[in-house]
Structure 1
Amino acid sequence: MSETVRVDRHGPVLVITLDRPAKRNAVDGAMARSLAAAVDSLDADPTLTVGVLTGAGGTFCAGMDLGAFLTGDLPELPGRGFGGITRTPPATPLIAAVEGYALAGGCELVLACDLVVAAEDAVFGIPEVTRGLFAGAGGLIRLPKRIPPAIALEHALTGDPLPATEAARWGLVNRLTTPGGALEGALDLAGRIARNGPLAVRVTKQVVQTSPDWPVEELWDRQQVLLDQVLASADAREGARAFAEKRPPEWTGN
């Protein structure tokens, strides 16, 4: 980690905080490397069930640090994309807790997350076209999969902001909170996920995200391979044993 990314553990939940409030958490090279290291640590620990990504100082992320960019300090990592995660999101479910602005690369970081909790006054957007660019860190690929394609195209072509209330109406935001309550809301959602078996949660995410691209004739066989992996796990036996003994399960992630 670095001074610009903080990591705090809450039991089986890892909170990753972008911490450059004076720069509205704009991403430079150091932050990208630290964010990549943070999500690697999330995936490396089988006892961590879910992560939460948020920003300090009332802003999620304003995108790329343009000042750093002009000096050649790029906020991308080879093969991993913007912020070190847009091309390779973690295998572990990741929740975005959004206050304030999530714009350009900041919005693309949100889109690299699986679930979104946002304050009612938060604002999303991919305004790159207003600077003669386009949202090349996943915005044009992921946004049409998260909201109706025509609505996504409108915002991509105009660069207009997308208020959190509208984003929730289109399905991008799972939960709206009062201003200042996004992290608390995300931790509540993370806690509901974290009650479950870590391996089962990761594989569930894997199937939901990858199965639309599986050949139809291979759907069931590919799922069976993953199901067999989960059925053979210690946590599957623990889940059954805990149910029979009427007690909370004690997960190990194995």
Structure 2
Amino acid sequence: MNESVSFEVRGQVGWITLTRPEARNALSREMVLAMTTQLRAWREDAGVRVVALTGTGPAFCAGADLKTAGSPAQPGEADFLDTLVVFFDLLRAFPKPVIAAVNGLAVAGGLETVLACDFVIAAQSARFGDAHSNFGVFPGGGGAAVLPRKVPHNVAKYLLFTGDSLPADEMKTHGLVSEVVADAELVARVQAIGEKLAKKSPLVLRRMKQVADEAPDKSVADALRHELLELRNHQRSYDIAEGLRAFAEKRAPEFKGY
């Protein structure tokens, strides 16, 4: 538990909530370390099948806390950039679905956090931007490297170069946001989606995520071979047998994730 970030499991959905609204939920080293520790615990926890990440107040996350980001590390200690890289890598490669529940402004490291999630549900008032250029700061969590893979190339360059932010509805048009909901409905809507995903086979979702994440860096033929390999492996699983039994017996399946 960290006073600037809270963790809660609701049903089978693990919620990470940034609770530093006075600083627009800017990320401190302690917050990043706390989230990294919790994600590692939930990665091994079969009771948590989905993770949702949101913020409190008018911002989802305004990025790294620039007042402390440049503070030198103690000898032998990872610096702030090191801790951010570990966090983003863990979030991107997390084996369970991760939903960004964007409640407000998401810029710089906040946008990079969003980019590391599987998909985005945004409040009507949410806005998205890179903003690094506004302060002469260079992105290090995917702003320049991943954003052009999520939205059209010219839109990514506009956000990177101008430092401006765009509203949720526009970012839905560009493909970054999956759904825009009323501000008051955001948490309930994401919880409902999380509960829906929690009923699926964890094994299917993990394997789908891996193939989908790696596909853009492969030829179509190589991506298809990867998919077929995962299907062959999946045919030996409990979950596919349970799903087919449930279909034949006209009941809801009870997946176990192996």
Same fold (TM over 0.5): yes
**2:120 counterpart of 1:81:** no
Does the CA contact (< 8 Å) of 1:127 and 1:156 recur in 2?
Answer: yes
Distance 1:188 1:133, change over 3 A: same
Q: Which residue is 2:195 aligned to?
A: 191
Q: Which stretch of structure 1 is more off in the superposition, 177-186 or 27-36?
A: 177-186
> Which residue, out of 95, 107, 110, partners 1:106?
110
Deviation of 1:3 (Å):
3.0
Partner of 1:237: 241
Counting only pairs closer than 5 Å after superposition, residues 129-168 of structure 1 correspond to structure 2 as 129-168=133-172
SS state at 2:37 partner:
helix
Match of 1:71 in 2: 71
What letter corresponds to residue 51 of structure 1 in structure 2? V
Distance (Å, rounded) in 2 between the aligned partners of 1:75 and 1:118 = 28
TM alignment of 1:108-127, pairs within 5 A: 108-127=112-131
- Is the Cα contact below 8 Å between 2:101 and 2:121 reproduced in 1? yes
Which stretch shows the higher mean deviation, 122-131 or 64-73? Answer: 64-73
Distance 1:10 1:229 in 2: 32
| 1:106-140 Cα distance to aligned partner (Å, 9 max, x none) | 11100111110111111111111111123221011
Cα deviation digits, residues 178-205 of structure 1 (max 9, x gap): 1232222222222222221111011111
Counterpart in the other structure of 2:22: 22
2:38 corresponds to 1:32: no
Q: CA deviation at 1:20?
A: 1.9
* Seq. identity, %: 37
Instruction: Quote how far apart the aligned CAs of 1:25 are.
Output: 1.3
Amino acid at match of 1:20: R
Distance in 2 between the 1:200 and 1:47 partners? 16
Q: Return the TM-score normalized by structure 1.
A: 0.90
Matched residue type, 2:191: L
- Cα pair distance change 1:240/1:87, threshold 3 Å: closer
Is the deviation greater in 153-162 or in 64-73? 64-73
User: Which amino acid is the alignment partner of residue 3 of structure 1?
Assistant: E
User: What residue in structure 2 maps to residue 207 of structure 1?
Assistant: 211
Report the secondary structure of 1:124's partner residue.
Answer: strand
Q: Following the alignment from structure 2 to structure 1, what is the Cα–Cα distance between the partners of residues 105 and 125? A: 9
- CA shift for structure 1 position 9: 1.4
1:193 aligns to what SS in structure 2? helix
Q: Secondary structure at the match of 1:16?
A: strand
Q: Which residue number in structure 2 is paired with residue 171 of structure 1?
A: 175
CA contact (8 A) 1:48 1:198 kept: no
The 2-side partners of 1:201 and 1:153 are apart by: 32
Q: What one-letter code is carried by the residue in structure 2 that aligns with 1:11?
A: G
Deviation of 1:100 after TM superposition, in Å, equals 1.5
8 Å CA contact 1:32, 1:76 repeated in 2: no
Structure 1 stretches of 5 or more lacking a match?
Answer: none
2:97 to 93, 105, 123: 93
Q: Closer, same or farther in 2 for the Cα pair 1:250/1:87, shift >3 Å?
A: closer
Q: 1:142 Cα deviation (Å)?
A: 1.5
Shift of residue 66, structure 1, vs aligned partner = 1.6
- Native 8 Å contact 2:127 2:168 kept in 1: yes
1:87, 1:194 → 2: CA distance?
20
* Cα gap change, 1:123 to 1:217, in 2 (>3 Å): closer
Gaps of 5+ in 2: 74-78
In the other structure, the counterpart of 1:62 is 62
On the 8 A contact 2:12/2:198 being kept in 1, the answer is: yes
* Counterpart code for 1:81: V
Bigger shift: residues 86-95 or 22-31: 86-95
